[in-house]
Structure 1
Amino acid sequence: MSSTLFARSLPNMRYEAIKKRLEKLSIQDSSKIEILQAISNSVNLGDPEWEGRDLVIRALDKFKVFDSAEQSLILSMVRSVGLFPYVSPFLDEISPSDRLAYELHRVEGVEPGMVFHRLQAHVFSLLMQGRNVVLSASTSVGKSLVIDAVIATEKFRKIVVIVPTIALIDETRRRLVKRFKGRCNVITHPTQEADEELINVYLLTQERVLQRDDLDDVKFFVVDEFYKLDLSSDSEEGSRAIDLSLAFHKLAKRGAQFYLLGPHIQNIQGLAAYEYNFIPSSISTVAVDVHHFNLPTKGNHRKEKLLELCGQITTPTLIYCQSPASANRIAQILIDEGKLTKQADTQDVADWIAKNYHPEWNVAKAISLGVGIHHGGVPRALQQYFVKLFNEGVIKYIICTSTMIEGVNTSAENVIIYDRRVSNSPFDFFTFKNISGRAGRMNRYFIGKVFMLEEPPKEKDLNVEYPIGLQDVDSPMGLLLKLEPEYLTDISRERLERAYATPLISTATLIENRHIPIDRQLEIAQTIIRDLPLSRQLLTWKGNPDQSQLEYICRLVCDHLEIKLADYGIHSGPQLAWNINAIRAQKDFPAYLQDAINDRNSKTTPSEAIGTRLKFIRNVLCYRLPRDFMAISKIQTDVFTQRNIEPGDFSFFSEQLENLFHDPLLTALDEYGIPTQISTKIKGTILPSENLNDMLNKLRALTPKIGVMRITEFEQSIMRWAIAEM
């Protein structure tokens, strides 16, 4: 049968038929050329385009079973579908025309041998023409290489890259340092400043963009995971989406060129004020096979399937869970029933975690068996170290939540989707595609494998709405309060005028406290007034509060601000104050975590109690509470100033709380991969420092002396690794 007849004989199953024959293909198979001709036919038809490209990638996965002539045909098809990076190992074997096309896609100034695929080259060309670009493409497409290529041109001396998480800051920083060391000044921290002799890349979350006042002259910026502009993407009452929208507005309103990138978006609305090229692309650099099991949520079916899969899979695997609590349960299943053996290469990190946190924490037990855990309750430096071990092949599994799925790149061939939810809400088709996109890795795992244990979500298009460009009566006040008058609609102006009419709280305070609903702020002001003169005694402190003062402000937080403290076993102001004091007095994780174990109820395991405490530290003590204390500080300033009473000032204590009562520069090192337990041991050699850059320079100078420092061998290895990538 000819290849044309072969293709035509399966008009509806052409792709599936070829795919199945490729799966079973062996070196002895006599139909190899027939299969290649069928793939070529699919590539040439280009309808749909993704099928031919997908089949070419699958042929590359079987590359060694073909003879030299057949391999040459595959490489020509690789060129036809524009996947030039796959040609790099075979430059001496391709035709002159293929070589010319390859050379035209080379990337200059990043790393030797780097080459664009067709989509990357198109986006880069548009950016070099000064166009704004909104790119929607799969996770595996390599969108970040375009950023690095723009940096390498040195066309822009000041660039902002906005990423959604600290984990993504770390990953991106390491990549930029590796590629541009000596050429770029990568800024991630408030104390770092621009260097006029270098290209300055501000690598920041949206919150940190809004905190900086030195970005007015930025000419180019990037928003990674731009779908998070949409208010519906944010589970935290839209606060992070609001901040991202304001960060975009802050840079775009001055005419800076932008590059927005994210996965699987069909349309973006609200950007009518800007000219841009929207590129929705289906291009992927890996093929993905999704295996559906449609198992029920209740019962042991998913657990049994998970254990079965882990017993069969031999290559790097991510296990997605809906929440830290779910991740801990899955970890315990693998610890108890996974038939895993202790790994010699991970005993040092397991022992360190057991000593510096608690031996009952299943993060320590899991990593000793070659299983990493990555979620919001795991300290950042440990998250980074687990990803390092995973990408190096030291460990085979990482159990993760959305904190890792949203942007962190790994060398995973497989993804097991255990839960079909994010937190407690069922995830949509977009999230399913985003998680699935973590399977496979260009030039390493040609075909990613996704194992969906529950029934998959229904396919649905995702449209992103930029809220500043779509203001209506429901627009969040936290968004409107920060906008300049010329960017407000008439409806928004009227709403703000009504909000500013309150005599209790100043306009400046309402704007500064925009994360908190105005009615909640008024409740706090009224409570302070009602409690006079007690509130005068308990709120006019500066520096550090005494016990009664701390309990009073904690009561204001618990009674008036919507923090879900009950999730952490905290139901009153005195309880919240006790937890703050426990950290302030001890600065000792093991003792604080042991207390959680002692106080747990009978249905809670020791590891679950530990996980809850660490999540409380991360989400409440270090993030939410300092912000809320400062909001109350501004409110009490307004109330007392109106009454000619000298107000308090909670800024010092809030900063202390945010840094768990350590020096802020030491806690900043956690983002660089050095845990606070290590940095506090060596603080005498790196403090005082003028700023973070000064401290980083001191750390680099320590490299030859690390071997004689009074820290363990494992801690020395952590420092060497972290310093090498600073």
Structure 2
Amino acid sequence: MNYETIKTKLAHLSDDDASTIAVLLAINTIVNRSHSGWEGRDLVIRALDKFHLFDKVEQSLLLNMVRAVGLFPYITPHLSNMALSDRLAYEAHRVEGVEQGMVFHHLQAHVFSLIMQGRNVVLSASTSVGKSLVIDAVLAKRWFKKVVVIVPTIALIDETRRRLVRRFKDFNLITHPTQEAVADTTNVYLLTQERVIQRPDLADVEFFVLDEFYKIDLANDSEESSRAVDLSLAFHKLAKTGAQFYMLGPHIQRINGLDGYEYHFIPSDYSTVAVDIQNFGLGMRSEERKEKLLELVKTLESPTLIYCQAPPSANRVAEYLIEEAGLSPIPETQEIAAWISKHYHPEWNVAKAISLGIGIHHGGVPRALQQYIVKLFNEGVIKRIICTSTMIEGVNTSAENVIIYDRRLNKSTFDYFTYKNISGRAGRMNKYFIGKVFMLEAPPLEEGLTVEYPIGLQDEKSPMGLLMQLENEYLTDMSRGRLQEAYANPVLSPTTLIENRHIPIDRQVEVAETIIRDLPRSYGLLGWKGIPEQATQFNYLCELVYSLVGGNLMDYGISSSSQLAWHINELRTQKNLPAYLKQAVDKRQGEETASEAINLRLKFIRNMVCFRLPRDIMAINKIQADVLAKRGYEPGDFSFFAEQLENLFLDPLLTALDEYGIPTQISTQIKHLILPSDNLNDLLAKLRALAPRLEHLRLTGFEKGVMRWAVAEM
């Protein structure tokens, strides 16, 4: 029997089937072929899904094949049935110092061994492989006292932190810029690439991990986001010190540009789950696609992710399911639904959907809510999450099914790599042996992915923001020439250009020339420190910001500097998020739904107010300081205002708790009990001390539940 025949027979095995031994013997034949590793492993996993249908002798044979393909974690529940040789092999793969009963599969053991030999490793393998267990096993050895783990999102920082808190109570975990290393213990920095670049205390890191390393390629970036540039610089900052590294990501065939480093590249098709894919080939705007989605939602009873291209698509899918799926409210989520309605808006689909047992996870959903929705999903309280790439890129879930509703990523058709990455979210080791993927449109053509490290592959298109941060010995002659030309600009100093590397040079020069042209009036409008006291000062700052990044603001419906000033003033003076969102709903135009208006405002807060705008204000701060000082004026200082904006004009320590799963709406209610605090660690200690008294606080049941969950893993 060939692979497809056996796969079909396994799918149809039943209690009274007499062909079980024949099927197992056929699988054994494929397992023993040297050239068909993935087929044998896949069939063994599918047979494990039917384990209860085999008798004891057949189960023993199957467990022998499990050992042969290296899937030792699947043996753990069946230790009593194992032969001595299988038991010895199992013990050799046991993970020390993490959790009792944890064992490596073959690939994990191989990677761990290489790292313990002092080798740099670049691993490309599917999501289900369990690449993070290798990280924890390395940490458990306690060989390295200073470790950095670079992850692409705040959500992944939180997920990794929670895992490490459970396993390593004595480690000092650093996730926030205000936290510092502690002597005589293991310090593990869990950071995004931006935070790695900002920290001045990483020169003596011994080992670092770069998760989702494919994001280092500039093809995954844009001029406006520059996250690939930041990731490249973060890697460079740590690797140039000689620190050992472990890079991991899915489905990459080659990596170019790392010639300056010795490393062991492992492109692997190893998987711990089998995946069945159904391609329906339905039209993008066809009614059939919506009908098929509805049919699947009604028939799939196990945990399901529904992938959509972007928040507007997720919103439309949520609206459709809310109205058409015939779902009943579930008792367990009524309190969180009411809380979301009160603190955001009752027309927001996130509140309506969670009431019916559907989570929504995209860039417009605040982080603490995202984290809690994933918690409810992994605990089985809700069975469905409508998500975008924010969840596909690294957040671990226990989903058996993935429905790919859109064949797009943001504004373009996604490629085979993204398709495989999304599909890799189906199935879970030791829980769902066979993941199920339902591709509603036609799948993309199969193709390999090569990742390019831009620092090692400099050319005439290399971003200036990347080159300006590199030491001379890492620059090519061409790059040195380009920098020399850029620094010849007479208006701004090289120091200012380097510090503002996220902003194109021509835009910086335009702002500088505007300030010079407006002198001496511009000095009166820019010479303030702390908070702008006059409306004219604030409005002038908004004019400069808009001239710097106005194109980005158009994406949020902001088409002038006066509109930008209105939004910031609303957030600064009112500090009333429900009212701010209600205004968006009341003033929406055309066919925009209430949820779309809310999502846009929340995305503006997250992407612009809490990230881009403070960075841009600091860029203008450096430009005006450069321009005014050269002309004998005392510069202003906008750093306090930028920090206030970044934290929505709340105490920065309270907004930091959002990353720990506590929404600011809750932390502000208890701030009198935890503030003032010297730093984030001091604040976290006060929260832990507060935990026994939670029941006596004037919080709702849901709010107390959030606090208990968050504090338990701090």
Q: Does 1:346 align with 2:333?
A: yes
SS at match of 2:32: helix
Residues 358 and 382 in structure 2, CA contact (< 8 A), matched pair in contact too = yes
Residues 288 and 440 in structure 1, CA contact (< 8 A), matched pair in contact too = yes
Moved more, 521-530 or 438-447: 521-530
Residues 236 and 342 of structure 1: is their aligned pair in 2 closer, same or farther, counting only changes over 3 Å? farther
Q: Which residue of 2 aligns with 1:4?
A: none
Give me the whole-angstrom Cα distance separating, in 2, the residues matched to 1:129 and 1:562: 51
Moved more, 525-534 or 611-620: 525-534
Q: Does 1:359 align with 2:346?
A: yes
Q: Does 1:101 align with 2:89?
A: yes
**Partner of residue 129 from structure 1, selected from 117, 128, 132:** 117
Give me the whole-angstrom Cα distance separating, in 2, the residues matched to 1:717 and 1:564: 38
List runs of 5+ in structure 2 lacking aligned partners.
none
**Partner of residue 166 from structure 2, selected from 155, 175, 178:** 178
Which amino acid in 2 is paired with 1:436? S
Question: How far does residue 368 in structure 1 lie from its aligned partner after superposition?
Answer: 0.4
Q: Which residue of 1 aligns with 2:20?
A: 32
Residues 52 and 435 of structure 1: is their aligned pair in 2 closer, same or farther, counting only changes over 3 Å? same
Q: Which residue of 2 aligns with 1:3?
A: none
Residues 446-482 of structure 1 show CA distances to partners (whole Å, capped at 9, x for unaligned) of 0000000111110010000000011111111010000
Question: How far does residue 238 in structure 1 lie from its aligned partner after superposition?
Answer: 5.8
Q: Which residue of 2 aligns with 1:599?
A: 587
Residues 550 and 559 in structure 2, CA contact (< 8 A), matched pair in contact too = no
Give me the whole-angstrom Cα distance separating, in 2, the residues matched to 1:297 and 1:697: 51
Question: How far does residue 550 in structure 1 lie from its aligned partner after superposition?
Answer: 1.8
**Partner of residue 422 from structure 2, selected from 421, 430, 435:** 435
Moved over 3 A (4+): 235-238
Q: Which residue of 2 aligns with 1:273?
A: 260
Residues 546-583 of structure 1 show CA distances to partners (whole Å, capped at 9, x for unaligned) of 32222212122222325422222110001000000001
Q: Does 1:214 align with 2:190?
A: no
Q: Does 1:240 align with 2:227?
A: yes
Residues 340-393 of structure 1 show CA distances to partners (whole Å, capped at 9, x for unaligned) of 110100001101000111111110000000001111110000000000000000
Question: How far does residue 198 in structure 1 lie from its aligned partner after superposition?
Answer: 1.8
Q: Does 1:304 align with 2:291?
A: yes
**Partner of residue 709 from structure 2, selected from 712, 718, 721:** 721
Give me the whole-angstrom Cα distance separating, in 1, the residues matched to 2:518 and 2:388: 44
Q: Which residue of 2 aligns with 1:635?
A: 623
Give me the whole-angstrom Cα distance separating, in 2, the residues matched to 1:344 and 1:385: 17
Q: Does 1:250 align with 2:223?
A: no
**Partner of residue 706 from structure 1, selected from 687, 694, 699:** 694
Q: Does 1:62 align with 2:50?
A: yes
Residues 50-105 of structure 1 show CA distances to partners (whole Å, capped at 9, x for unaligned) of 00000000000000011111011110000000000000011111000000000000
Q: Does 1:194 align with 2:181?
A: yes
Give me the whole-angstrom Cα distance separating, in 2, the residues matched to 1:346 and 1:220: 42
Which amino acid in 2 is paired with 1:39? I
SS at match of 2:292: helix
Give me the whole-angstrom Cα distance separating, in 1, the residues matched to 2:34 and 2:686: 57
List runs of 5+ in structure 1 lacking aligned partners.
1-6, 8-13
Give me the whole-angstrom Cα distance separating, in 2, the residues matched to 1:206 and 1:291: 37
**Partner of residue 462 from structure 1, selected from 424, 445, 449:** 449
Residues 180-224 of structure 1 show CA distances to partners (whole Å, capped at 9, x for unaligned) of 11x211100011111113211000000000010111110100000
Question: How far does residue 533 in structure 1 lie from its aligned partner after superposition?
Answer: 2.4
Q: Does 1:660 align with 2:623?
A: no
Count of aligned residue pairs for this structure pair: 713
Q: Which residue of 2 aligns with 1:83?
A: 71
Residues 473-512 of structure 1 show CA distances to partners (whole Å, capped at 9, x for unaligned) of 1111010000011111111111111111112111111111
Give me the whole-angstrom Cα distance separating, in 2, the residues matched to 1:176 and 1:235: 33
Q: Does 1:373 align with 2:370?
A: no
Q: Which residue of 2 aligns with 1:157?
A: 145
Q: Which residue of 2 aligns with 1:534?
A: 521
SS at match of 1:464: strand
Q: Which residue of 2 aligns with 1:10?
A: none
Q: Which residue of 1 aligns with 2:319?
A: 332
Give me the whole-angstrom Cα distance separating, in 2, the residues matched to 1:527 and 1:222: 44
Matches within 5 A, 1:426-505: 426-505=413-492
Residues 408-445 of structure 1 show CA distances to partners (whole Å, capped at 9, x for unaligned) of 00000000000111111100000000000000000000
Task: Provide the TM-score with structure 1 as the length reference.
Answer: 0.97
Q: Does 1:400 align with 2:406?
A: no
Which amino acid in 1 is paired with 2:50? K
Which amino acid in 2 is paired with 1:525? A
Give me the whole-angstrom Cα distance separating, in 1, the residues matched to 2:699 and 2:313: 35
Give me the whole-angstrom Cα distance separating, in 1, the residues matched to 2:545 and 2:26: 67
Q: Does 1:677 align with 2:660?
A: no
Q: Which residue of 1 aligns with 2:306?
A: 319
Question: How far does residue 46 in structure 1 lie from its aligned partner after superposition?
Answer: 3.6
Residues 400 and 426 in structure 2, CA contact (< 8 A), matched pair in contact too = yes
Give me the whole-angstrom Cα distance separating, in 1, the residues matched to 2:206 and 2:692: 40
Give me the whole-angstrom Cα distance separating, in 2, the residues matched to 1:324 and 1:549: 35
Give me the whole-angstrom Cα distance separating, in 2, the residues matched to 1:94 and 1:196: 46
Give me the whole-angstrom Cα distance separating, in 2, the residues matched to 1:598 and 1:704: 43
Identity of aligned residues (%): 70
Give me the whole-angstrom Cα distance separating, in 2, the residues matched to 1:46 and 1:670: 51
Give me the whole-angstrom Cα distance separating, in 1, the residues matched to 2:591 and 2:260: 55
Which amino acid in 2 is paired with 1:67? D
Q: Which residue of 1 aligns with 2:560?
A: 572
Give me the whole-angstrom Cα distance separating, in 2, the residues matched to 1:607 and 1:589: 15
SS at match of 2:95: coil
